[in-house]
């Protein structure tokens, strides 16, 4: 996350800026897109375009349907074969704010009970995350549904706090209506900046469970660690919403996180009445928690035992 300049710090205390201005300085770093959606000219519901790293899907906007192929560039660093990519469907949906939202559904485990609605971190897009999604889903026996925020990948518009909430709403409704998946079988998973829309959605809708991976309490508390209260202009105020979540919440945070301090995870855990036993990864930073064995172990236990038992 970016810091604030001296002039911006002065403006902050002289005349509080609007939340979108703080948000853009703190969080949004959309990368150069690592994928494209290409029109699929082949016929048939299971048509796969020629060439490597392509997979078909459909887009439903305004009642019309168009089929797409997912094409990953070398920058996506995709590590699987075409067989794994064939488990993936791509399409676009429209948010309430008028932006086109790119979506990806990976059938990692076709007979799986739960689907993760995954809100990824900053400075990545669906193309870069595709390898991780396939590996994660197959290891925890879950299907993965993800989307790109406005201004990321092939999603249109510009990143903003309001768009962030509208984007996950569009993804949630697409997952439910397009695939007929009920809330009791959806696990909301947010990583880093992705915990912001995840907390917002789960504070408004009940689901099977929630995972908050390296979460932040609020934008101001990231920029100014000594902040003790939530101001009206504070963007991403997850600390004020987490108490409204009615689903089980697993919080994961590295003790040596250099981007979002470990104290953010602790504060959310203390404020969340539905929090389960958290995972504090000793020595882990912001971007390497997945490399620790306890990460998968805790997720498997949470999803396969704790969440599954509540929904039997």
Residue in 192, 202, 214, 247 annotated catalytic: 192
Of 71, 213, 264, 286, the active-site residue reads: 286
Name the E strands within the chain.
Answer: 35-39, 54-61, 64-72, 88-94, 100-106, 115-119, 143-147, 186-191, 209-213, 249-254, 279-281
Q: How far apart are CA 248 and CA 266, in angstroms?
A: 16
Q: Is position 192 annotated as part of the catalytic site?
A: yes
Q: Is the dihedral of CA 298, 302, 305, 308 positive or negative?
A: negative
Contact 141, 217 (CB under 8 A): no
User: Among the options 167, 200, 234, 257, which is catalytic?
Assistant: 257
Report the C-alpha gap between 285 and 288 in whole angstroms.
6
- Catalytic annotation present for 257: yes
**Can you tell me the distance from the alpha carbon of 54 to that of 312, in angstroms, rounded to the nearest whole number?**
38
The set of catalytic residues is 192, 257, 286
């Amino acid at each position: 996350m970016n810091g604030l300049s001296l002039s911006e710090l002065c403006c902050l205390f002289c005349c509080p800026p609007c939340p979108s201005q703080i948000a853009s300085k703190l969080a949004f770093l959309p990368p150069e897109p690592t994928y494209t959606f290409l029109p699929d000219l082949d016929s048939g519901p299971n048509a796969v375009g020629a060439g490597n790293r392509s997979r078909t899907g459909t887009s439903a906007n305004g009642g019309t349907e168009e089929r797409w192929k997912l094409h990953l560039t070398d920058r996506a660093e995709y590590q699987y074969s075409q067989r794994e990519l064939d488990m993936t469907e791509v399409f676009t949906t429209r948010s309430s704010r008028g932006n086109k939202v790119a979506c990806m559904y990976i059938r990692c485990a076709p007979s799986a009970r739960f689907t993760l609605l995954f809100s990824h971190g900053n400075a990545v897009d669906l193309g870069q995350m595709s390898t991780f999604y396939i590996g994660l889903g197959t290891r925890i026996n879950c299907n993965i549904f993800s989307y790109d925020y406005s201004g990321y990948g092939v999603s249109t518009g510009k990143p903003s706090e309001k768009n962030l909430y509208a984007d996950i709403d569009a993804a949630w409704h697409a997952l439910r209506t397009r695939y007929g998946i009920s809330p009791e079988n959806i696990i909301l998973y947010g990583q880093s900046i992705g915990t912001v829309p995840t907390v917002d959605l789960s504070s408004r809708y009940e689901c099977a469970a929630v995972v908050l991976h390296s979460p932040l309490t609020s934008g101001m508390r990231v920029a100014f660690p000594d902040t003790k209260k939530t101001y009206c202009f504070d963007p991403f105020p997850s600390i004020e919403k987490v108490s409204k979540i009615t689903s089980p919440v697993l919080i994961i945070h590295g003790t040596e996180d250099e981007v979002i301090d470990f104290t953010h995870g602790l504060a959310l855990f203390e404020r969340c009445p539905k929090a389960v036993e958290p995972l504090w990864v000793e020595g882990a930073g912001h971007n390497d928690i997945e490399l620790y064995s306890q990460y998968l172990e805790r997720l498997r236990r949470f999803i396969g035992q704790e969440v599954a038992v509540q929904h039997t």
